[in-house]
Amino acid sequence: MLKNQVAIVTGASRGIGKAIAYKLAEQGLKLSLVGSSEEIFNVEKELKEQGYADVKGYQVNVTDEQSVQEMVSATIEEFGGVDLLVNNAGVGFFKLVEDTSLEEWKQVFDVNVQGVFLCSKAVLPHMKEKKSGTIVTISSDVARYTIANGSAYTATKYAVQGFCGALSQEVREFGIRVGTINPGMVDSYFNNSEQGVDDKKDWLKGEDIAQAVVYMASAPKHMLVDEIVVHPLVQNYPIS
């Protein structure tokens, strides 16, 4: 169902984003892969070496409007359009409020909120013109509850949840679907941690989140999956 569609995946250099890139390539999509470092070109090379020819890497700062617009324009020129945007780029840290600097606060908001806004805004004119498209944002379970030491990160995820909800109402008349995937603990590089270490062996994997993206994006056109919340069994998640 997704074969030959065009997707943009941000934060695709490693971790969850890289897993999403691989899963979408397996589904037959054409991919623009976005990363903040040159590492993104390694992912492009790996995928092409595995036989996925329609892949293009872009080193882009998702907080810079001009760079984002140029990437989206290049994607449309390269592949003929954009059917799916996966907002995955994100950063996070955990500190007491009084230990959090203004610079740290601004950085996490710039990437997690402004980046989602700019990438979504950039694809909307094209999606509206063709009256179809899906925007999936990888958020977090802390978009629904709060944690100590996570004021900045949690605040960004509440903001993202509100933004995506409002955007969904704005664009559904154009056949555009907007949803969030809110994972719990995922074995990734989040917060400068290591992926694949033993104490994360029972956590969610990047492939689990990638599968959720495929499910949300491949839903029938009359169906909107607003939100997917997923946790590992070992996580004690507060339901309310």
CATH of the domain at 180: 3.40.50.720
Domain-located, residue 155: yes
Domain-located, residue 235: no
**Which residue numbers are catalytic?**
153
pLDDT of residue 198: 84
CA dihedral (140, 189, 36, 94) positive or negative? positive
Domain-located, residue 131: yes
For residue 20, the enclosing domain spans 6-230
Which string of DSSP letters, residue by residue, matches 73-103?
HHHHHHHS--SEEEE-------B-GGG--HH
Q: How far apart are CA 152 and CA 160, in angstroms?
A: 12
Domain-located, residue 101: yes
Residue 21 φ/ψ, nearest 5 degrees:
-60, -45
Helix (H, G, I), strand (E, B) or coil at 57: strand
Distant-in-sequence, close-in-space partners of 122: CB < 8 Å, separation ≥ 6: 68, 69, 71, 72
Domain-located, residue 146: yes
pLDDT of residue 236: 85
Which of these, 129, 123, 46, 43, lies nearest to 86 by C-alpha position? Answer: 123
pLDDT of residue 239: 67
**Model pTM score:** 0.95
* pLDDT per 10-residue tile (average), the chain, 240 residues: 96 96 98 97 98 97 98 98 98 95 97 98 98 97 91 97 98 98 82 78 90 97 95 82
Helix (H, G, I), strand (E, B) or coil at 201: coil
Domain-located, residue 220: yes
Q: Are 84 and 133 in contact (CB under 8 A)?
A: yes
Domain-located, residue 123: yes
Looking at the structure of the chain, the number of domains it has is 1
| Number of other residues whose CB lies within 10 A of the CB of residue 147 | 12
Domain-located, residue 240: no
Q: What is the CA radius of gyration of the chain?
A: 17
| Number of other residues whose CB lies within 10 A of the CB of residue 172 | 12
pLDDT of residue 191: 66
